[in-house]
Amino acid sequence: MINKNTISAFVLCGGKSSRMGTEKGFVNYKGNSFIEWSIKAIEPFTSNIKLVTGNKDYEQFPYPLLKDDIEEKGPAGAIFTALKTNTSDWNLFLSCDMPGILPWIIEYLITNADPQASVSFLNEAGRDYPLAGLYHQKCLPVFSEAIKKGNLRLMKILEKVDFKRVEMPASQKRFLNNVNTKEELEHLINTQHEDSL
């Protein structure tokens, strides 16, 4: 099991949010913004939390902002920036477009992660969630090379490292829904069970 004391956490606050039509992290779901769901999910496990964004509106939260070292590189660029600037062995990455995610899911990921693998991330019914994952610092050279070559597809990058899929029961899929559009948010609101922070 991975030692929680060796973990730093990064919330990826999203890019242009063009499909949502507004800054995704501030969209409300059940009384809390997307970013608040992400923060509350990881706070029990580390105090070393950073928000990966260049948007100063996120300064309202008590965590440092980390601007992408190289802009317009998507999640791969955000992970590269975090690994480059951090010194922790393990780095927890969580995107802010998974409203409803709860601390027990992060606990499940940490408990079932493979400490010998470079990356462990959640998977549910064959669907990968690489932005709900633990990345070891040794991944930095792989991400650096990918950024240089413009190979930005995250799962393609992860094919170059040893990784573990942490399987989630299909019954828990509702906690892992990615929400990128207003229509997806409306569907989530209409179908989700009542969960709270």
List of domains in the chain: 4-191 (3.90.550.10)
More confident residue, 137 or 179: 137
More confident residue, 84 or 174: 84
Question: Which pLDDT belongs to residue 196?
Answer: 45
97 is in an annotated binding site: yes
CA–CA distance, 148 with 151 (Å, rounded to integer): 8
Asked whether the predicted pLDDT for residue 105 surpasses 60, the reply is yes
Q: What is the DSSP string of 69-103?
A: SSSS-HHHHHHHHHHHH---SEEEEEES--TT--H
CA–CA distance, 36 with 161 (Å, rounded to integer): 31
Asked whether the predicted pLDDT for residue 18 surpasses 70, the reply is no
Question: Which pLDDT belongs to residue 138?
Answer: 95
Question: Which pLDDT belongs to residue 171?
Answer: 66
Judge contact between 99 and 39, C-beta under 8 A. no
Question: Which pLDDT belongs to residue 19?
Answer: 60
Return mean pLDDT, the chain: 88
Asked whether the predicted pLDDT for residue 115 surpasses 50, the reply is yes
Question: Which pLDDT belongs to residue 12?
Answer: 94
Residues 85-90, mean pLDDT to the nearest whole number:
90
pTM above 0.85, yes or no: yes
24 is in an annotated binding site: yes
Question: Which pLDDT belongs to residue 100?
Answer: 79
The encoded tokens of residue 86 equal 């951090």
CA–CA distance, 132 with 123 (Å, rounded to integer): 9
Residues 187-195, mean pLDDT to the nearest whole number:
62
Question: Which pLDDT belongs to residue 22?
Answer: 73
pLDDT in tens, 21-73: 678 889 888 888 999 999 999 999 999 999 999 999 999 999 999 998 888 89
pLDDT in tens, 139-187: 999 999 999 999 999 999 999 999 999 998 776 666 777 777 777 767 7
* Strands 119-124 and 28-29, sheet pairing: unpaired
The encoded tokens of residue 83 equal 């690994």
Question: Which pLDDT belongs to residue 155?
Answer: 96
13 is in an annotated binding site: yes
